[in-house]
Amino acid sequence: MKKQRILFIGAGRMAEAVAAGLVTSSADSIEAVVMSNNGDIERLQRVETTYGVQTTQNWRQEVDNSDVIILAMPPEAHPSVLKELSTHLNQQFVVTLAAGIGPSYLESHLPQDTPVAWIMPNTAAMIGQSMSLYTLGTSATKEHKEVLQMILKGIGEAHECSEKEVHELTAVTGSAPAFLYYFAESLIDATTAYGVDEKTAKDLVIQMMYGSVQMLHETKDPASLREQVTTPGGATAEGLKVMKEQDFSLIIKQAIEATNRKAMGGS
């Protein structure tokens, strides 16, 4: 793979996570990283100093020199940026990080045969631990896929999907972290009800979750880990019985379905 010159349009939280991953994990594959935004010059100066990337206040001048253009601005900024970008493009690989903006949308707003891809990271990208989904457009080649995987390497794990699957599974990889944090909040509330202060409750719950997630990561077997903790007829089994009676699995399934309905434009 030739060394890539990568231009970011948008220099917010997600652009920073991807750029940080690139300069630490893929430095050998990169000729330059150039970041731009909508006018927040202080932020550009900060990313330049922190990551040693180049910055510009006018991304239009950089398109011609770039191999990859990463769209890291909000979904609602896409129509106008894509319109302008179209007039500067010459077969550059265009990758969006935006929620809801799949390859078919990019292809319908960019010149014919433009290679495109869609990455859906989650917030753990900021610590290099994302579970990202990605999908490529119809004009992307094996080489584009290699470039995409090089970009993804620095923010964690990634899984290739169809466009439809990215739409459906983002509820699990992108939104479910919020469900997990809500579970943590609920457990912290239940702990403080026994009279311990909030800091202690947080320490207890967060370390319990951290250790449990590491066990999950090692064994990949949630059911047998649950069984290890649950003596039949014992105290934990009694707690789980309440969760089953309240149909915890159904609540989770309904939360995923509601997320997808909303993401697909429903109410």
39 near ligand NAP, rule: CB under 6 A:
yes
Among 40, 113, 165, 247, the residue binding ligand NAP under the rule CB under 6 A is 40
Of the pair 176, 201, the CB lying nearest ligand NAP is at 176
Backbone angles phi, psi at 177, to 5 degrees: -55, -35
Between the CA of residue 241 and those of 9, 109, 235, 255, what are the distances in Å?
A: 50, 52, 10, 21
Closest to 15 (Cα-Cα) out of 60, 94, 70, 62 = 70
Stretch that binds ligand NAP, among 22-30, 73-81, 85-93, 213-221 (CB under 6 A): 73-81
Task: Please give the span between the terminal C-alpha atoms of the chain, in angstroms, as a whole number.
Answer: 45
Per CB under 6 A, contacts with ligand NAP among 88-147 are 97-99, 120-123
Buried b (16+ CB within 10 A) or exposed e, 251-263: eeeebbeebbeeb
Stretch that binds ligand NAP, among 11-19, 104-112, 155-163, 240-248 (CB under 6 A): 11-19
**HEC sequence for 23-82:** HHHCHHHEEEEEEECCCCHHHHHHHHHHHCCEECCCHHHHHHHCCEEEECCCHHHHHHHH
Q: Please, are residues 191 and 205 in contact by the beta-carbon 8 Å criterion? A: yes
Measured from the CB of residue 96, what is the shortest distance to ligand NAP in angstroms? Answer: 7
Stretch that binds ligand NAP, among 39-47, 150-158, 179-187, 200-208 (CB under 6 A): 39-47
173 near ligand NAP, rule: CB under 6 A:
no
Among 29, 38, 139, 192, the residue binding ligand NAP under the rule CB under 6 A is 38
Among 4, 37, 175, 191, the residue binding ligand NAP under the rule CB under 6 A is 37
Distance CA 248, CA 254 (A): 10
Among 7, 11, 18, 85, the residue binding ligand NAP under the rule CB under 6 A is 11
Instruction: Please check if 11 is assigned to a binding site.
Output: yes
Which residues would be at the binding site for ligand NAP (CB under 6 A)? Answer: 9-15, 37-40, 43, 72-75, 77, 81, 97-99, 120-123, 174
